[in-house]
Structure 1
Amino acid sequence: MAGNSLGQAMRSAIEASWYQDKPGWTQILAPLECLYRRVVATRFQRRIKQLNSPPVIVVGNISVGGTGKTPCVQALVLWLRSQGLRPGIISRGYGSQSEQFPLAVDADTDVTLSGDETKMLALACQCPVVIDPNRKQALLYITEHFDVDIVISDDGLQHYGLPRAIEIAVIDGKRGLGNKHCLPVGPLREPEQRLTQVDLVLQNGLSTTGEPLYNNAVVFTLTPVHWVNVKTGERLPLQSLTANGSLCAVAAIGNPQRFFDTLTALALPFDSTAFADHHQFTAQDFAEYGGRTVVMTEKDAVKCAAFAADNWWYLKVQANIPEPVFDELTNRLALRTNSSPFD
């Protein structure tokens, strides 16, 4: 646990410098930022537009850390299916230990092979999911082996070799773009002006001022739905979760504070522990909690199902995306493809 605490302290120090109005101590890395920007600009010029394949919607972000893009992917899959389409998902499969790619992920795939986010998507969306560090290869595989007529790339905004019809960037309403510097001085994977080049900017929650951070941003919310038992799948209404004393809340996501803030809004007493994003949980991580009730995110639950206790729960959330976003997607897809996928 000491190693994890040290690593978390270092990550917290870096994020504290990134997510403030001006660069902090990471300013000493400014020469590396200049080099990074040049590499990004060169690669961006080589990006590929939509090819003769099912249309691809890329859902990503331009900053490091969690913004809420994966719940957006889930919401898009549900909407596309409601329109009579057959969506599929491709992803890098971050954290995958598979030795062979592309890899089709389903409910039976070991999470060590799939990675946590893609296993969660496979369980939640019940649609074809394929991972490959080379997303273009994942696209070819999913179109050749599955009956899909539209593909969503979970992340991949900076994977310029992947053809795409639509680009959606997701930003965090509270943290925004931090000091607006690129790595390693700030949290940005691409310069801020990249937001003017995507088709849609979705903002996860309002900013501290109560306004969208950018003129072209559409605000959506993540809403808690119910509790799900990590071991059995039993569901409980939000207000029905009880415990003797405070809950043990753990999170290994890009922005753990968002999960903890949600628990606070639900008026639940809890002790919190944040782990590194994509942390591979083991039973030992929970040894100090004894028999206390543990709560976590859906992404973390897929890594804990094999050793979960009866009183471990994850919070199911959904992205509430305004209807005009879907209208805009319909129009843009019709313009970017030879024929509308909705015909």
Structure 2
Amino acid sequence: MALLRSAQNILSPVLAPAGYVYSSVMACRAKLYNKDSLVRFKPACPCISVGNIGSGGSGKTPVSGWLLAWAERQGMHSVLLSRGYGANPSKLPYLVTAESPVEESGDEPLMLATENPYARVVVDPVRKRSGKWATDQFKPDLMVLDDGFQHMAVQRDLDFVLMTPDDFTDGWNKVIPRGTWREGKNGLKRADVFFVKSPVDDFNSMKDLIKDRLGKYKKPVFQFNLKAEGLKFLNGGETLQFGNEKYMLVSGIGKPEQFSRDCMNFMGQKPCEHMIFKDHHPYSSQDVSSIREKSEKVGAAKIICTPKDAVKLRRLGCDDFYTIDLCVEFKESIFFDGTEPCNFERWWSCDRLELAYKSRNKNSKL
């Protein structure tokens, strides 16, 4: 990531105009959808899009999982629509279960289906099609559009937009290929709720900057982070203490350096090794052999991977590997309408969801 950022800075005079063109194209596309010039699927139940303005590391999958768990607690039947990055489904739409081959389902949909067996996770790059199919098959009470901020072919009642601290500083309004943003800052006006994935102290120290960047949209901003409960073997079982043994990390995610920093905090020491694979890496038996050889060489007592890697490594005889048992934790907030600060769990309710759904239906009839 550091090398990429350095290259983008060096090539800024060349990349910035290309980013401007990309941003303009995305803005025109958004206008066409807003004017209903392009066909959209309109869900027959409340629909929440969980997406971001930049790429990777903003916590979309954990927040989507939190929504599925919340819906279950309310007695609601939920469906999540995923494009299934890296998936090769045997048919479309594809219903993901805990037993689905990861090659067919994709790693993130499989992780969500495994952790939320009460929800329906459906993979299809054409989400207008999967949305209609899921509605006909399951009659859901809630539809979650995973990674959906720029996917406007499915109409939503609420846009949850997730950001990282970098989005407010070095990454602000730097659109592909100049930076990691998928569209320009004007796209943020479509958001209904903002989330910032960061530690509490970092969020509080950035409040003035966040207010400066997002204040004009008058939408609530919630801080969240992933709280580690402990370690788990890949084959399941109860949560275990972190311990103080030497450990080695394995990851195939977008921001491995973030995983390494988090594990240093959890374990109280640096990993003795971090084997980094590309994002969504399809692990093989040869990879597992290499991991075990490296572990023996560096003297690691534990091999720890991310939850996303766990669903792939679990099927390759890695039951003795560990993964981090994580939960989403909301604490801080910023409101621009005089609302008393409170965390997202306290603010969020079925009434807010229903109000948004009724507002969409009312506006569509005008």
Residue pair 1:67, 1:255 contacting (<8 A) in 2 also = no
- Structure 1 25/309 Cα, relative in aligned 2: closer, same or farther at 3 Å? same
Specify which structure has the higher proportion of helix.
2
Query: Does 203-212 or 312-321 show the bigger shift?
Result: 203-212
Aligned to 1:229: 233
Q: 1:278 to 1:325 in 2, by over 3 A?
A: farther
Q: What is the aligned partner in structure 1 of residue 190 from structure 2?
A: 197
1:133 partner amino acid: P
For 1:46, what is the secondary structure of its paired residue? helix
Q: Shift of the alpha carbon at 1:42?
A: 1.7
Match of 2:174 among 174, 178, 181: 181
Contact in 2 for aligned 1:297/1:316 (Cα 8 Å): no
What is the CA deviation profile of residues 138-167 of structure 1, one whole-angstrom value per residue up to 9, with x for unaligned ones? 111111112411110111211121111111
Which secondary structure state, in structure 2, belongs to the residue aligned with residue 159 of structure 1? coil
Does the CA contact (< 8 Å) of 2:46 and 2:357 recur in 1?
A: no
Please give the alpha-carbon distance, in whole angstroms, between the structure 2 residues aligned to 1:188 and 1:204: 16
Q: Residue 332 and residue 169 in structure 1: after superposition, are their counterparts in 2 closer, same or farther (change >3 A)?
A: farther
CA distance in 2, matches of 1:16, 1:135: 36
- Equivalents in 1 of 2:352, 2:275: separation in Å? 38
Q: CA deviation at 1:70?
A: 0.7
Aligned equivalent of 1:5:
none
Per-residue CA deviations over 1:294-334 (Å, capped at 9, x if unaligned) read 10110111111111334301112111232244148436435
**Does 2:3 align with 1:13?**
yes
2:41–2:153 CA contact under 8 A, matched in 1: no
Shift of 1:211: 2.5
Distance 1:151 1:167, change over 3 A: same
Q: Is the 8 A contact 2:229 2:239 kept in 1?
A: no
Which runs of 5 or more structure 1 residues have no equivalent in the other structure?
1-10
Q: How does 1:75-94 map to 2 (within 5 A)?
A: 75-94=66-85
Q: Which residue of 2 aligns with 1:254?
A: 254
Go from structure 1 to structure 2 and tell me whether the alpha carbon gap of 1:73 and 1:279 turns closer, same or farther (over 3 Å shift): same
Aligned equivalent of 1:295, options 279, 304, 321: 304
Select 2:26's aligned residue among 26, 30, 40. 40
Change (3 A) 1:74 1:329: farther
Code of the residue aligned with 1:29 in structure 2: it is L
Q: Within 5 Å, which residues of 2 pair with 1:205-244?
A: 205-206=198-199, 207=202, 210-212=205-207, 213=210, 214-215=214-215, 216-230=220-234, 232-239=235-242, 241=243, 243=245
Task: Pick the aligned partner of 2:146 from 138, 154, 162.
Answer: 154
Give distance in 1, aligned partners of 2:184 and 2:317.
Answer: 42
Deviation at 1:279, TM superposition (A): 1.3
% of aligned pairs identical? 26
Q: In the superposition, relative to structure 1, how do residues 337 and 63 fare at CA in structure 2: closer, same or farther (>3 Å)? A: same
Note the C-alpha offset of 1:134.
Answer: 1.0
Quick one: which amino acid aligns to residue 238 of structure 1? Q
Cα shift readout 1:26-67 (whole Å, capped 9, x = no counterpart): 442233222212220121113267725112100000101221
Indicate how the Cα distance of structure 1 residues 128 and 220 shifts in structure 2: closer, same or farther if over 3 A, else same. Answer: same
1:183 & 1:120 partners in 2: Cα distance?
A: 28
Equivalent position of 1:8 in the other structure: none
Task: Name which of 65, 69, 72 aligns with 1:74.
Answer: 65
* One-letter amino acid of the structure 2 residue matched with residue 13 of structure 1: L
Residue 326 (str. 1) matches residue 326 (str. 2) = no
1:25 aligned to 2:25? no
Matched residues in 1 for 2:181 and 2:146: separation?
Answer: 18
CA contact (8 A) 2:248 2:295 kept: no
Instruction: Determine if the alignment matches structure 1 residue 137 to structure 2 residue 139.
Output: no
> What amino acid maps onto 2:60 in structure 1?
K
Amino acid at match of 1:136: K
Superposed CA RMSD: 2.4
SS at match of 1:234: strand
TM superposition score normalised by structure 1: 0.85
Name the structure 1 match of 2:164: 172
Number of aligned residue pairs: 321
